[in-house]
């Protein structure tokens, strides 16, 4: 019998095959004539966290939306065998005519959970996200950006999805809240075996929270670097995060993709002139 060849970014490369997975194979995407994503291959297995990092406009959100089937896949394969998933969008996309509490409870309604339980569960998760009863009565327009982001995050988590898609979930939060919510995420991954595909601009965040980092470069968006982090997420301390981030920042592909030295030089020239 012919042996299966390991494929880069494939779940087939790493047994066992019995776990749920999100397998992306030879994925391309264009908007009109513009090629946005090219040859995307990766596998996200149950209980794992994959972070997508890359410069603004390289196609991260587009890739997440293709994985979540919010965009039609026309070229390539997205195979999602998880029973349930939820997404927290880059812009919170809350329903403006509903309070924060109703927004959080929204996904539970679709699951057929009765009103009392919906509110109980929504209130319970809102505490985890540092939202007060006063905040929960407010409409989205009356919430701060960070509050809106937490409501959107809580709305995604409250349904206890097997797979969670997070598009820059911590970008509008202060450093203390960010740390708290990162810890919540770590708990979910380690205790509840939640699987996460998340986008971040923050390399330290990616190193702290993920099992694999995919670096997406621009024009068209393609994976130019992969980093697997074997240390269990729960065991990563600040020293580990600083050390691994520094190593990542020294990678030529990372320097090139984020135009690190070029930006620095440009800034310096601008200062001098
Ligand atoms: N619906 C659309 N129609 C046409 N072009 C689009 C559409 N959505 C996104 N694009 C384009 O696709 C490219 C990638 O956008 P995307 O939002 O995926 O980037 P991103 O990596 O998430 O950026 P950021 O880090 O700024 O959020 C951009 O050039 C964007 O203008
Ligand atoms: Mg985006």
Q: What confidence tens digit (pLDDT) does each residue in 84-120 have?
A: 999 998 888 999 999 999 999 998 988 889 999 999 9
118 with 159: CB under 8 angstroms?
no
Is the pLDDT reported for residue 203 higher than 80? Answer: yes
Give the residue with greater pLDDT, 195 vs 15.
Answer: 195
Q: Is 202 a residue whose pLDDT tops 60?
A: yes
Secondary structure of the chain in HEC code, one letter for each residue: CCCCCCCCCCHHHCCCCCCCEEEEEEEEEEECCEEEEEEEEEEEECCCEEEEECCCCCCHHHHHHHHCCCCCCCEEEEEECCCCEEEECCCCCCCCCCCHHHHHHHHHHHCCCCHHHHHHHHHHHHHHCCCCHHHHCCCHHHCCHHHHHHHHHHHHHCCCCCEEEEECCCCCCCHHHHHHHHHHHHHHHHHHCCEEEEECCCHHHHHHHCCEEEEEECCCEEEEEEEECCCCHHHCCHHHHHHHHHHHHCCHHHHHHCCHHHHHHHHHHHHHC
Testing ligand 1's pocket by substitution, the residue of 62, 87, 91 carrying the most ligand atoms inside 8 A of its CB is: 62
CA 216 to ligand 1: nearest atom: 21
**Token representation of residue 22:** 């999100």
- 262 CA to middle of ligand 2, Å? 23
Residue scoring higher pLDDT (265 or 138): 138
**Pair of tokens at residue 151:** 């409501």
Pairing of strands 212-217, 222-228: antiparallel
pLDDT at 207 over 70: yes
- The residue whose C-alpha atom lies closest to atom 4 belonging to ligand 1 is 31
State the pLDDT confidence band at 20, using cuts at 50, 70 and 90. very high
Residue 220 confidence (pLDDT) above 80: yes
Q: Which of 24-38, 69-83, 198-212, 252-266 has the lowest mean pLDDT?
A: 252-266
The pLDDT, as a whole number, for residue 259 is 81
The tens digit of pLDDT for each residue in 7-18 reads 455 565 555 557
The model's confidence at residue 165, banded by pLDDT at 50, 70 and 90, is very high
Check residue 261 and give its pLDDT.
62
* Nearest of 221, 258, 224 to residue 31 by alpha carbon: 221
pTM to 2 decimal places: 0.88
Residues in contact with ligand 1 by the CB-under-6-Å rule are 31, 36, 54, 56-62, 90
Atom of ligand 1 nearest to the CA of 199: 22
Rounded mean pLDDT of the chain? Answer: 87
Distance CA 179, CA 261 (A): 29
- When pLDDT is averaged across residues 52-68 and rounded to a whole number, the result is 95
């Amino acid at each position: 019998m012919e042996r299966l060849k390991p494929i880069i970014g494939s779940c087939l490369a790493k047994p066992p095959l019995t776990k749920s997975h999100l397998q992306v194979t030879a994925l391309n995407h264009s908007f009109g004539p513009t090629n946005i994503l090219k040859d995307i291959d990766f596998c996200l297995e149950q209980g794992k966290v994959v972070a997508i990092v890359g410069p603004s406009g390289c196609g991260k959100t587009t890739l997440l939306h293709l994985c979540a089937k919010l965009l039609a896949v026309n070229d390539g394969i997205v195979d999602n065998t998880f029973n349930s998933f939820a997404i927290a969008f880059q812009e919170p996309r809350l329903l403006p005519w509903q309070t924060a509490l109703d927004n959080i409870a929204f996904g539970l309604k679709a699951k057929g959970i009765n009103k009392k339980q919906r509110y109980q569960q929504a209130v319970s998760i809102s505490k985890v996200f540092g939202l007060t009863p006063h905040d929960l009565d407010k409409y989205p327009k009356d919430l701060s950006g960070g509050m809106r982001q937490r409501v959107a995050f809580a709305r995604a988590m409250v349904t206890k999805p097997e797979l969670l898609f997070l598009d820059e979930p911590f970008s509008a939060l202060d450093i203390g809240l960010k740390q708290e919510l990162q810890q919540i995420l770590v708990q979910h991954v380690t205790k509840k075996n939640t699987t996460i595909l998340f986008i971040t601009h923050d390399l330290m965040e990616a190193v702290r929270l993920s099992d694999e980092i995919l670096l997406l470069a621009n024009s068209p968006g393609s994976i130019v670097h992969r980093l697997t982090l074997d240390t269990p997420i729960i065991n990563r301390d600040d020293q580990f995060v600083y050390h691994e981030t520094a190593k990542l920042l020294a990678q030529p592909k990372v320097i090139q993709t984020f135009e690190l030295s070029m930006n620095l030089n440009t800034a310096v020239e601008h200062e001098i002139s």
